Structure 1
C-alpha cells in the first residue's frame, strides 16, 4: 500500500523540528543565565557600595584613621567592585560613592557590561534634619 502524497513530503521533518526546538531552548537558557548574571552583579554592586560608603563615612567622622576615599576603594576592592566615584560632603559628615561590578557570563567567560550602584552614608541631609 502506498503512502498518501501528503505524508511523503513530510519525511525528515522530525530532525529539523527537533533541531529548532533545541536551538530555541538554548537561546532561552542563555537569556535566563544572562538575566541571572546581571541580577547577581547588581546585588553585589549595591552591597559593595553600601559597605564602602559606611566605611568611608566612619573614616570621615574620625572613627578610624585614613583617607575616606582610600578606605572606600579598599572596601570596594575587597568586595570585587571598582570604586568609580567618591565624594566627602557636608563638611566631612557624609560620603557618596559609586561602584561598578562587571556582569560576567560564566559559561563563555565573557564580561558584558558593568552593574553600577550608588550609596550615601553619614548624617542626614540638612533638609531632613
Structure 2
C-alpha cells in the first residue's frame, strides 16, 4: 500500500473516530442532565411538600451538584406543590440542557 493512500485512510478513520467520540459524549451528557433534572425536581418537590426539612431550591442544587451538573433555574409553586427545574452540563462543543417538573398531580 502506498504512503499517500495510507495517510488518507488514517485521516479518514481519525475524522470518523472523533465524530463518534463527540456524539457519544453529547449523548452521555444529555442522559446525565435528564437524570439529574428528574432527581433534582423530585427532591425539591419533597422539600416543598414537607417530606424533607430543607429549602426546595437548595436541595435541588445539591442534587444537581451530586450529578455533576449545574442547576440553572428552580421555580416553586407553593399553592400547587409543583417544582420546575432546569439543569445544564457542558460538553466538548456545546451546553446540554434538561428540564423536569415534579409535585402532586393537579386535577
Tell me if both proteins adopt one fold, taking TM over 0.5 as the criterion.
yes
Q: Which runs of 4+ in 1 moved over 4 A?
A: none
TM-score (norm 2): 0.94
Q: Does 1:17 align with 2:5?
A: yes
> 3-state DSSP class of the match of 1:99?
strand
Could you tell me which runs of 5 or more consecutive residues in structure 1 were left unpaired when the two chains were aligned: 1-12, 104-110
TM-score (norm 1): 0.78
Displacement of 1:123 after TM fit? 1.9
**In 1, are the aligned partners of 2:80 and 2:104 still within 8 Å (CA)?**
no
Displacement of 1:113 after TM fit? 1.7
Matches of 2:7 and 2:105 in 1, distance apart?
A: 59
Could you tell me which runs of 5 or more consecutive residues in structure 2 were left unpaired when the two chains were aligned: none
Q: What RMSD, in angstroms, separates the aligned Cα atoms of the two structures? A: 1.4
**In 2, are the aligned partners of 1:49 and 1:119 still within 8 Å (CA)?**
yes
Displacement of 1:64 after TM fit? 0.9
- Deviation track 1:11-70 (CA, whole Å, cap 9, x = no partner) reads xx8211110110000000000000000000000000000000000000000111111001
**Counterpart position of 2:96:** 115
